[in-house]
Chain A
Amino acid sequence: MELAIGIILGCCALGAGMAMIAGIGPGIGEGNAVAKACEAIGRQPESRGAVTTTMLMGCAVAETTGLYALVIAILLIFLAPGRLVNILVETMNTLG
């Protein structure tokens, strides 16, 4: 029983960690977007307001991908272990 619970907890933690790999992408993407925006503002300083607005929106959209991963990780860490252990305990009780 303890081994099964340990495996469940370990797999949940591993899954959460793997989900957060998706958090790398938005970071790189946002970094590149801002670098290019700096270049654009350097060339045309008068377009600063428009570039900043577009970039903010773009960054927020890019960040959503990371948020999906974050939500999966939160669920795997805080909700899934309890539910899965309950299911395991109920199954063990049913089987005797």
Chain B
Amino acid sequence: MKKLDETVKKETLYIAAWTLILSAVMQSVFLVIGLWKPDVLFGNLVSAAAAVLNFLLMGITVQNAVEKDEKDAAQLMRFSQSMRMLMQLALGAVGVFFFNPIAAILPLFFPRAAIAFRPLFGKKQSAGEDE
């Protein structure tokens, strides 16, 4: 098995950290409004795991794709996106069906929120990091 690229590892850790923080915030909100039950926690866990796993798999695909030629890379990415979507559908369905639907759906968007927060909290590193 190929070694995980340092960039992919770093970005996945960043996304996982933000997902953890936002999950904690969501659990706190459920506690404050008095709707917290164990199914909120389990729904959150399943969905947050799906979101982070999706990002990690996307990173691994990107890592493999940049070593291929253009056509193969595009094809690999499309295939990977379909498979990851199916994985998220399955895990999201488990969360919605067996646990709290809101707690199971919201964490799927936490990586997007983490990226939105990046310019606010992150260091200016993306543009000329390797230079």
Contacts and interface: CB of A to CB of B under 8 A. Distances in A.
Interface residues on A, range: 35 or more
Interface residues on B, range: 35 or more
Contacts of A48: 66, 130
Contact of A63 (B58, B59, B66): B58
Interface stretch (B22-30, B38-46, B85-93): B85-93
B96 A56 contact: no
Given A74-B93, A78-B93, A79-B96, A53 B105 contact: no
Decide if the interface of chain A is mainly helix, strand, loop or mixed. helix
B122 to A, nearest CB: 10
A52 to B, nearest CB: 5
Contacts of B96: 74-75, 78-79
Contacts of A30: 77-78, 81
